[in-house]
Chain A
Amino acid sequence: MKKYKIDALKEQCGYDPAFFNEMLDTFIVSTEKGVEGMEEALLKHDNSALAYYAHKIVSPCRHIEADNLVLLLKELENKSASEKMLPEEMNELVKKIRSESEELKEELKKEYL
């Protein structure tokens, strides 16, 4: 089963293949930057930065219905903001986000780029 649904994005891009590809490229780059930001924040034990990066990349993920990744990002955002998570749990969650985002990226690249 696919990790995303892309129809809404195609429609929003006006079925313009060049713009659609540009948006996918940007998605991959900005999600990667966001995950890198989370990993850095984790090393610095900076919870507010963790919440910020999770918040920053969740909207595009929701747009392409990458539901698994959205759930992980929302969990990280909420828990890091409320500081209810142990460092090892947080570490685990960021790893899951990294892995989910890598899989998503590969699927997208394989199919569209």
Chain B
Amino acid sequence: MKDSPFTICVIEDNEWYNKLLVHTILLNPDYIVKTYLDAASFLKDLNEVPNVVTLDVRLPDSNGKDLLTKIKSFHPSIEVIIISEQDDVQTAVDLLQSGAYDYIVKEKDIRGRLHNTLDKIRNKNKLIQKINVLEKELINKYDLGKTLLGSSSALKECIKKIEKTLENNITVVITGETGTGKEVVAKAIHYNSVRQKKNFVPVNVAAIPSELLESELFGHEKGSFTGAVSRRIGKFEEADQGTLFLDEIGEMDIALQAKILRVLQEKEVVRIGSNTPVKVDVRILTATHRNLKEEVKNGKFREDLFYRLMGFPIDLPPLRSRGQDVLILAKHFIDCFCKENKMELKLLSEEAKTKLLGYNYPGNIRELKSVIEYAIVISNEKEIKSEDISFVSDELHPENISGDLTLRQYELKIVETYLKKYNNDVKVVAEKLDMGLATIYRMIKELNKPE
């Protein structure tokens, strides 16, 4: 990233000191200096928004504090260094509290101090610039059109729902099978919402032991329990003005659910070991693969919390119901993997496409991604062949059975698939397929017969 020009305005009514400051600052050739003898002439140029202003406390037409206030209210990012004859602590404190970056007394040689301060401001500005670029990239990365790929009606319906959640702070519950992209959707909601510039804080409830989760979410004070060696801010505070994503909310301990409910109602958290509530403004997004309504019925999820969270439900469709989206996603994963690994871009053969479409993806998009990455690596040619596609599960997709098999062979394959799925429990398979036990045994015998 190229450095942008760094402009410093010197406001000093003493011509001699003004010249000395300009000379001192220009010892760094990267700096551009503009100079003024009074406040009025500087204010005419204020809309040029310099990076830094060095300001004398006493000017013929203004005092330092008034001018500082005007500068800061015009553009808070302009840093002001007060350079004063007065070695007065109270004045310095007042001006620093009013937003001055530093207070330098006019001593014989202020060169070191002044350059040190300017360098610090410049480095800070560079960091801010980098953060801004990264923020833009992040927001761009989670643009809805780029995040949620596909053209199926199931996905379009889902995007329509997501769009409804962007202009408000409604609590969203994202449900869907594993691998359907619940966290991706949560990020997309956050980075397309009005809170996009604030923190997105994800917490996987299932991944944190329940005894640690409370401290993780609410934070703790030093010494509040064994091991609390310092104060720690919890995820709710970290997400203040942003979004907190509670993944696998259905796994949360019922006792902790009551505390979450309190935070949602009161909009404040109390760190463990503290009595002082801290106000928080957090948007809550949750996700679960469980049916929370069922969990409520079974007494595993608090009904009051369920209704509190159930602001706007978004159910993500399984990949098997998204038709041709499989191929759109497959192409996207090929592009990403080849780019990341600096490989020549590969294409999918027609047979490979047919094979991909004929599978039911119990692991959904996450599984498709793994299948594609494996196929790219295993494939020796520019085109990914059908034999390069390998599924972990051999489950048949009943709507897309392909290949030249007889009906009997399909029946055998279905039984074989179910036996694998239910750990060779013949009784369960018979029940699931509504077939007699004897029939299943006969088919097993047939399956075991050498070809």
Q: Do the two chains bind?
A: yes
Instruction: List chain A positions with a Cβ less than 8 A from chain B.
Output: 8, 11-14, 19, 22-23, 26-27, 29-31, 52, 55-60, 62-63
- Report which of A8, A19, A60 forms a contact with B14, defined as CB distance below 8 A: A60
A22 engages B19 (CB within 8 Å): yes
- Is the CB of B109 closer than 8 A to any CB of chain A? yes
Residue B102 CB within 8 A of the other chain: no
- Among A11, A30, A31, A59, the residue within 8 A (CB) of B85 is A59
**Residue B279, interface by CB 8 Å:** no
Inter-subunit contact A8/B108 (CB<8 Å): yes
Query: Is B13 part of the binding interface, using a Cβ–Cβ cutoff of 8 Å?
Result: yes
Taking a contact as CB atoms under 8 Å apart, the answer to whether B15 and A59 are in contact is no
Residues of B within 8 A of A59 (CB): 14, 16-17, 85, 106
Partner of B108, one of A22, A29, A56, A62: A62
Q: A26–B17 Cα gap in the complex (Å)?
A: 9
Tell me whether B58 and A23 are in contact (CB under 8 A).
no
A19 to B24, CA, bound (A): 12
Known contacts A8-B108, A52-B60; A57 and B14 CB within 8 A of each other: yes
Residue from B13, B23, B106 within 8 A of A19 (CB atoms): B23
B133 within 8 A of A: no
B339 at the A interface (CB under 8 A): no
B397 interface contact, C-beta 8 A: no
CA gap between A58 and B14 in the complex, in Å: 10
In the complex, A88→B85 CA distance in Å?
27
- 11 additional A-B residue pairs with CB within 8 Å, beyond A12-B23, A26-B15: A11-B109, A29-B15, A30-B15, A52-B58, A52-B60, A55-B85, A56-B14, A56-B58, A59-B14, A60-B20, A63-B108
For B111, the closest partner residue in chain A by CB is A12
Q: In the complex, which residues 14-43 of chain B have their Cβ closer than 8 Å to any Cβ of chain A? A: 14-17, 19-20, 23-24, 27
Give the contacts of B54-85 with A (CB-CB under 8 A): 58, 60, 85
Q: How far is the CA of A99 from the CA of B106 in the complex (A)?
A: 25
* Across-interface contacts of B60 in A (CB, < 8 A): 52
Complex-state Cα separation, A52 to B60, whole angstroms: 8
Given the complex, which residues of B lie within 8 Å of A52, measured CB to CB? 58, 60
Say whether, besides A58-B85, A59-B106, A62-B106, A30 and B23 are in contact (CB < 8 Å).
no
Expressed in whole angstroms, the Cα–Cα distance for A12 and B111 within the complex equals: 8
Minimal Cβ-Cβ distance residue in A for B58? A55
CA distance A52 to B59 in the complex (A): 9
Q: Chain A residues with Cβ under 8 A from B19's Cβ?
A: 22-23, 26
Please report the C-alpha to C-alpha distance between residue A113 and residue B23 in the assembled complex, in whole angstroms. 21
Q: How far is the CA of A52 from the CA of B62 in the complex (A)?
A: 12
Contact (Cβ within 8 A) A26 B111: no
B109: A residues at CB distance < 8 A: 8, 11-12
Contact residues in B for A26 (Cβ distance below 8 Å): 15-16, 19
Q: Which residues of A contact B108 (CB under 8 A)?
A: 8, 62-63
Residue contacts A-B, CB under 8 angstroms, 26 given = A8-B108, A8-B109, A12-B23, A12-B24, A12-B109, A19-B23, A22-B19, A23-B19, A26-B16, A26-B19, A29-B15, A30-B14, A52-B60, A56-B13, A56-B14, A56-B58, A59-B14, A59-B85, A59-B106, A60-B14, A60-B16, A60-B17, A60-B20, A62-B106, A62-B108, A63-B20
